[in-house]
Chain A
Amino acid sequence: MELVDNLALGFALALKPINLAYCFVGVFIGTLIGVLPGIGPVAAMSLLLPVTFNIAPEAAIIMLAGIYYGSMYGGSTTAILVNIPGEAASVVTCLDGYQMARQGRAGPALGISAFASFIAGTLAVVTLSLVAPTLARLAVKFGPVEYFSLMILGLAILVYLSHGSLLKALAMACLGLVLGLVGIDSINAMPRMTFDRLELLDGVGLVPMVMGLFGIAEILSNLERTVKREVFQTRLGTLLPSRDDWKASAAPIARGSTLGFLLGILPGGGAVLSSFLAYALEKRVAKEPERFGKGAIEGVAGPEAANNAAAGGGFIPLLTLGIPPNVVMALLLGAFVVHGLQPGPLLLTQKPEFFWGIVASMYIGNVMLLILNLPLIGMWVQVLRVPYAILFPLILLFCMVGVYSVSNAIFDVYLMIGFGVIGYMMKRFGYEPAPLVLAYVLGALLENNLRKSLILSRGDFSTFLTRPISAACLVLAAALLLSPLIPWLRQRRKRVALEQ
């Protein structure tokens, strides 16, 4: 009954015309950037973050959240019709989606992708509504010791799941931790590593860093090679899947939703990993695995359900613990802070209408996406025909103007270009930006909780091992990081990396 009351409170906020409008704008932009290769939800959200400064906090978060889960929907369109994933989570959709399109079944492929996304997205929001209050109540009991250990576990999972060298991912996490400490020390107000630059007193900006590492670096990588996009010339026909299609897809959607949601909660799990693992799972349980890669509808339904469920699951650690599990959630955390809000257990008790408003907007957003995606597929196909030579200068311009408008400082534009070049070099040398960005976001929080824990325990490190939650987190983190030393686990991790 409490849940119904809470949701009613949320819907009252989310159904306000202004919030509905921002929800629509969010899912529309999300679908658009999901359709367009070369710009992902991270770059789009950081680009639009300054735009939200002048609007109400709830509208801002509703819009930014809509961009994220909207992009998960949009990514499959390009994957199916052009064989180019609109964003990373749709890479596996290319395998069978494009083959279905080649066999004249583009319509059912797009249809099942939209329905699977809708079902999984909705299931994720329902589970979020059920789980979040309990978790938030538990999180109130967390002190600095537990928070520190939980963040260490988060970083360990992220590093473990990164698909390259574990050592390189750990090095990037270290780099990110220190970058997060640049600026005024929150405990004694001492400037750290600012090199006498006033612009660095507030720290290295999240927006220039993310835009550089993800947006600019991606464009520079695309510039190296001619990007050819041939939109599949076929009649889409009916978008509604047949009875047989539904029969084949029902179980993959259920499995994908569950797997995606669980992985979405894990730090570093996110939409990309869940879609790959859902594909691997479907292939493993299939009676005829040789059909995969040749147009099996299960290969579209499972991953598409998984990436959308993961997008929903990612909100749980952010909204209940205040800890972002992936880079997109880190950006959303930044948006919360900009608007003077702190996500975490207290958000639910102090601002219930805000918390439930966001959850309710996700129900509405999922319905909007279903309505938006099916009739507008023709329009998205036209958008795909815009040549990259025209798109990339415009994306670069929006990145630069967007970054400048956050702080009206040209320093941030230089910072973004610098991070763009670093991100490009990192790609070349086999380093991933995700551990760096997440560690950067957690850096200040982690240090703050570590120092508070040590002050409270009078310098006694055993405090981290004598408190049960903290000890469990640290033991799990150590087990994950040391697991590559065990030969069969190392093979397993390599296999996951190869599947990615």
Chain B
Amino acid sequence: MRRADLLSAAVLAAVGLFFVYSGRDLGMGRLADPGSGFMIFWVGWVLTGFAVAIGATALRTTVAGNIAALWEGADILKVLAAVAIMTAYALALPTAGFILTTLVMLTLLFRLIEPVAWWKAAGGAAIATAITWLLFVRLLGTQLPAGIPGELVGLG
């Protein structure tokens, strides 16, 4: 954990110092009339202090191990794939619309853990998309993006 803690301490210290800078930039005001940046400034310093303490504790620890050891035995590719699919979904949603993007996303996700047949994944995705659309759009009145395909078929 030593290197992992040092890395996280460095990130937190950087964030803390950014808060200090932002707080100062926003205006500290006076003690009798604190400004918008007063608390951000001081919390930034406190965070930096804790980050330094985490780093110092890590330096004193005898438990070795590199950062990659944190992911030992873990299937990191599945995690990365899930994040990529979700991000692509968010990017495509406004233009491609809810139905098309959800269909594609669910098909890919159904195949992510256990590679099932494409037709099964697509079929399951179609059913789940239809139910979600009915539930959110028809029943709850949520406005989900219809996108270009939706507008073409008159769903927009």
Contacts and interface: CB of A to CB of B under 8 A. Distances in A.
Contact of B36 (A188, A405, A408): A188
A400 B43 contact: no
A170 B26 CA distance: 24
Contacts of B142: 50, 401, 405
Given A389-B114, A410-B93, A459-B31, A417 B40 contact: no
A429 B9 CA distance: 10
A165 B50 CA distance: 11
A78 to B, nearest CB: 19
- Interface residues on chain A, size class: 35 or more
A190 B36 contact: yes
Contacts of B37: 192
Contacts of A417: 83, 86-87, 90
A397 B106 contact: yes
B1 to A, nearest CB: 7
Given A174-B50, A390-B124, A413 B110 contact: no
Among B30, B83, B93, B144, find the residue whose CB has the most chain A CB atoms closer than 10 A: B83
A428 B82 contact: no
B59 interface: no
A392 interface: yes
Nearest to B71: A428
Interface string A75-105: 0000000000000000000000000000000
A450 B39 CA distance: 9
Interface in B107-136: 109-110, 112-114, 116, 124, 128, 132, 136
A345 B2 CA distance: 47
Given A188-B36, A193-B40, A393-B110, A175 B15 contact: yes
A431 B36 contact: no
A224 B43 contact: no
Interface residues of B, number: 67
A51 B140 contact: yes
Interface in A283-325: none
Contacts of A410: 90, 93-94
A458 B39 contact: no
Interface in B65-116: 70-71, 73-76, 78-79, 82-83, 86-87, 89-90, 93-94, 98, 102, 105-106, 109-110, 112-114, 116
B17 interface: no
A446 B32 CA distance: 17
Given A174-B47, A429-B8, A389 B15 contact: no
Nearest to B111: A389
Contacts of B106: 393-394, 397
Nearest to A455: B33
Contacts of B64: none
Given A405-B142, A429-B4, A224 B50 contact: no
A245 interface: no
Please indicate which of the listed interface residues B8, B39, B94 has the most CB atoms of chain A within 10 Å of its own CB. B39
Interface string A199-217: 0000000000000000010
A51 B83 CA distance: 26
A32 B15 CA distance: 39
Given A394-B128, A428-B71, A389 B90 contact: no
A229 interface: no
B87 to A, nearest CB: 6
A193 B113 contact: no
A405 B113 contact: no
A401 B144 CA distance: 8
B70 A429 contact: yes
Nearest to A417: B86
Contacts of B116: 389
Given A224-B78, A401-B132, A392 B113 contact: yes
Interface in A418-434: 420-421, 424, 428-431
4 tightest CB-CB pairs across the interface, nearest first?
A: A459-B31, A459-B32, A393-B109, A224-B74
12 contacts: A165-B54, A178-B47, A190-B27, A396-B86, A396-B109, A401-B144, A410-B90, A417-B83, A428-B70, A454-B31, A459-B30, A459-B33
Interface of B: 1, 4-5, 7-8, 12, 15-16, 19, 22, 26-27, 30-40, 43-44, 46-47, 50-51, 53-54, 57, 70-71, 73-76, 78-79, 82-83, 86-87, 89-90, 93-94, 98, 102, 105-106, 109-110, 112-114, 116, 124, 128, 132, 136, 140-144
Given A177-B43, A187-B36, 15 more contacts: A167-B57, A174-B50, A177-B39, A192-B36, A193-B40, A223-B75, A393-B109, A397-B128, A400-B86, A401-B142, A413-B93, A417-B83, A420-B86, A451-B34, A455-B33
